[in-house]
Chain A
Amino acid sequence: MASRVVSLASIVRPKDLAKRRAEPAACGGGMDPATWDKVKDHPCYSEEAHHFYARMHVAVAPACNIQCNYCNRKYDCSNESRPGVVSEKLDPEQALRKVMAVAAKVPQLSVLGVAGPGDALANPHKTFRTFDLVARALPHIKLCLSTNGLALPDHVAAIRDHGVDHVTVTINAVDPEVAERIYPWIFHDHRRWTGREAARILLDRQMEGVAALVASGVLVKVNSVMIPGVNDDHLIEVNAAVKSAGAFLHNVMPLISDPAHGTRFGLDGQPGPSPAELSALQERLEGGAKLMRHCRQCRADAVGMLGEDRNEEFTLDRLDGEAAYHPEAREAYVAFVEREMEDRRMAERTARQALPAGAETMLVAVATKGGGRINQHFGHAREFQIFEVDGAGCRPLGERRAENYCQGGFGEDERLEAVLAALDGVSAVLVARIGDCPRRRLAEAGIAVLDDFAYEYIEPSVMACFARMIAQRQGYDTLMASA
């Protein structure tokens, strides 16, 4: 649990932080300043911010108003990470205590979300009471919530009035025929609706709510669960619809359907997509609504950087008294991140300019503990960030896990096998360090391991690695041709 904590020391590279700031960096890749201000420290809305800022969810919203076939409200396992799962419910006052405790210990904390475990807007009093308490105590914390959208049109004014800048709406379909295979029922207007009628009401309310949020200036992210054979092709229509409705970001997530979770889809044997199927769909969606590629499908009580969960450090029984929040630590951290982001952008520009022309594409894996740097030992990496790189630049394709935490008990050899399987199709791995034995095994599998980018920025290193490998290959080809 605590092993994945990102310390400032791991983010700052050992060498002196070069301050190459000859020219001012453009903010957020051409985003307008007002939008950039909303997303620059929100790890879920900005790929760049997720390297530096942490979020937490408080589980104040246990009730839900719809049933989804990928959700089972009876099941909870503390070792399990997926949306809709929590280990303890909180009331708003307990939630405030928890947020204060986390803010005191985690200067990266910038976002508080209510994401269930039910629906934030099926529990409006608890959700908005929590926001009131936190906004009063910690005005710098950004507030966000997630909803299925059914109750959304009734709460748009309250969302705006509470200063909630970000709302995530889960929209899995825009056609009731598709939606009725995902939602068996909804509870609306004091009755339970089923079938096509339920689907139609839900979809209408979702789109009405998104439009109203956008009109109010709230940033909207749309989450869609990719369910092969049910809505996979249909998500292209969803993407187009949410783009035209004004959504800021579209996040396509794979269905999680383990029969042990007892969900309808799990019990019926409905499979989730393979990583390749998910990537292929995401490729087809490029050019539509902007895609989120760094989602980690976190729990409704997750605490920390995306991909880590420190919730167990902050359970109610561990919160003693009022935690003291010191704004100086936070301010120092924000100043550090602003310099770091600028420095990174400079490095990215330089690396992009040095990319070789040509149609070649390569997958590069990175071992990182966070902070946007290559700062993890190969042997400690439980997952790898995958990047696709070509002559135009590099794009994150998400993470690949190298072992299943629920199975556990792997020996070193078995773990290496799992790592090799996770690195399928990858040409090079960038790590902080690696032992001789695994280096040999990876070389045998045709995967180059580079540790000379240790503690450097991820994206510029991925591009530099690509440029170097292409140059080496061209050098080799030239040599062979002349021999």
Chain B
Amino acid sequence: MAYKIVEANCTGCGACEFECPNQAISEKGGLFIIDAAKCTECEGAFDSAQCAAVCPVDDTCIPV
């Protein structure tokens, strides 16, 4: 149960990093990656995965 970021779509804006309740997202080489071990898909915290809700590019933050 985790999300991942489709590298080719990531603009590197970092909006997801700011919203993630688990600090599971970090920058790597100008783009962002999700640490699957920390990702909870925001269950219990929010109604929807925050990274996917804030991401400016469709189909970029998606379930693994």
Contacts and interface: CB of A to CB of B under 8 A. Distances in A.
A395 interface: no
Contacts of A65: 15, 54
A62 B12 contact: yes
A269 B1 CA distance: 40
Interface residues of B, number: 17
Nearest to A75: B11
Contact of A73 (B30, B50, B53, B56): B56
Contacts of B12: 62, 89
A63 B50 contact: no
Given A89-B12, A191-B46, A63 B18 contact: yes
Contacts of A136: none
Interface of B is mostly: loop
B13 to A, nearest CB: 4
B15 A191 contact: no
A190 B21 CA distance: 10
Interface of A is mostly: loop
A190 B13 contact: no
A62 B48 contact: no
A73 B47 contact: no
Interface in A233-272: none
Contacts of B57: 73-74
A73 B54 contact: no
Contacts of A187: 15, 19, 53-54
Contacts of A370: none
Interface string B23-64: 000000010000000000000001110100110110000000
Nearest to B56: A73
Given A74-B57, A192-B53, A64 B15 contact: yes
A62 B53 contact: no
A68 B9 CA distance: 18
Contacts of B13: 62-64, 73, 117-118
B56 A191 contact: no
A16 B30 CA distance: 53
Given A62-B13, A63-B18, A73-B11, A192 B56 contact: no
B48 A192 contact: yes
**3 tightest A-B contacts by CB?**
A63-B15, A62-B13, A192-B53
10 contacts: A62-B13, A62-B15, A63-B14, A67-B56, A74-B57, A190-B19, A190-B47, A190-B50, A191-B53, A192-B54
Interface of B: 9, 11-15, 18-19, 30, 46-48, 50, 53-54, 56-57
